[in-house]
Amino acid sequence: MRITYRSRGVKDYWASRWADIPADSAMTNEGVYPLKYALQTVVSRDGAILEAGCGAGRILRYFHERGYDITGIDYIDVAVAKLRDADPTLKVETGDITRLQFPDGRFRYVLAYGLYHNLEHGLDAAVAETLRVLEPGGRVCASFRADNIQTRLTDRLADRRARRSGKVAGTAFHKMNLTRREFAALFERAGFVVESVSPVENMPILYKFAFFRARTHKAFDENRARAEGYRLSGLGQLLQDALMRFLPDQFCNIYVLIARRP
């Protein structure tokens, strides 16, 4: 386990991030993270879905607009308010993954992308709560920031940018980073049966350099990237494919887990 630090706390970071962008439209690219893995997990329209840490709403709105019974929670009020303004028919509320206000076995599926690694405290409690609100046989799909070469390079780049802008070195908790084995063990301790843990490129490190981005992504637009995926140019994708083929555990930036409650 490795911890990433920044100059401001994780809640301030997310409050600022969600305040700076509009609510998402429904995600459009079914072939990339996270929608690709959500569709592998949600195999039936029957049963309720919880998206924990719904953020700007790209996954929540995808399933809602297709008639699924989905509820979203996020602990950042501004994100919830923007989603309610964008679509008053959404079931979305402020919530805490470590203390969910739902009865036992309420959901058949839980989707939690980029959520658990934001917890400085209460990680085991959060996973235990996830198990509690799932019905027997229910499934969870979650992602967690990987502890590997890519995320270490990403953190170094962030530290360098901070120093260039005159900021002090980060001392506030930002994210936790786990290996594949540590991520699986976290859910197994809670009582889950882990079906798979996959190395996944959400934002490839090459995307951080405009030269390697697709033409329509040269000028960064977060909502576009969140809807379409972080698209690389032909050269960038060729290089990224090679990294993921030969060193997937070192050049993914997240692991995606699918597990079920026995």
In-domain check, residue 244: no
Of 29, 73, 83, 23, nearest to 50 by C-alpha is 73
The model's confidence at residue 153, banded by pLDDT at 50, 70 and 90, is very high
pLDDT averaged over the chain?
95
Residue 60 has pLDDT above 70, yes or no: yes
Q: Is there a domain that residue 8 lies in?
A: yes
Residue 210 in any domain: the answer is: no
Number of domains in the chain: 1
Q: Residue 58 corresponds to which amino acid?
A: R
Say what the alpha-carbon torsion angle 127, 129, 130, 133 is, to the nearest 10 degrees. 160
Residue 248, domain member (yes or no): no
Q: Is the dihedral of CA 248, 249, 253, 255 positive or negative?
A: positive
Q: Which domain holds residue 137?
A: 2-204+255-260
pLDDT at 34: 97
pLDDT at 169 over 80: no
Q: Does any domain span residue 161?
A: yes
CA distance 199 to 251: 8
Look up the CATH number of the domain holding residue 124.
3.40.50.150
Q: State pLDDT tens for residues 208-240.
A: 899 999 999 999 998 899 889 999 999 999 999
**151 in a structural domain:** yes
Instruction: Give every CB contact of residue 38 below 8 A, 6+ residues apart in sequence.
Output: 59, 62, 63, 111, 141
Using DSSP, state whether 9 is helix, strand or coil.
coil
The pLDDT > 90 percentage for the chain reads 89
What average pLDDT does range 14-30 have in this prediction?
Answer: 95
Domain-located, residue 242? no
Q: Give the model's confidence band at 168: pLDDT under 50 very low, under 70 low, under 90 confident, else very high.
A: low
pLDDT of residue 162: 79
Q: pLDDT tens-digit profile of 73-117?
A: 999 999 999 999 999 999 999 999 999 999 999 999 999 999 999
Tell whether 190 is covered by a domain. yes
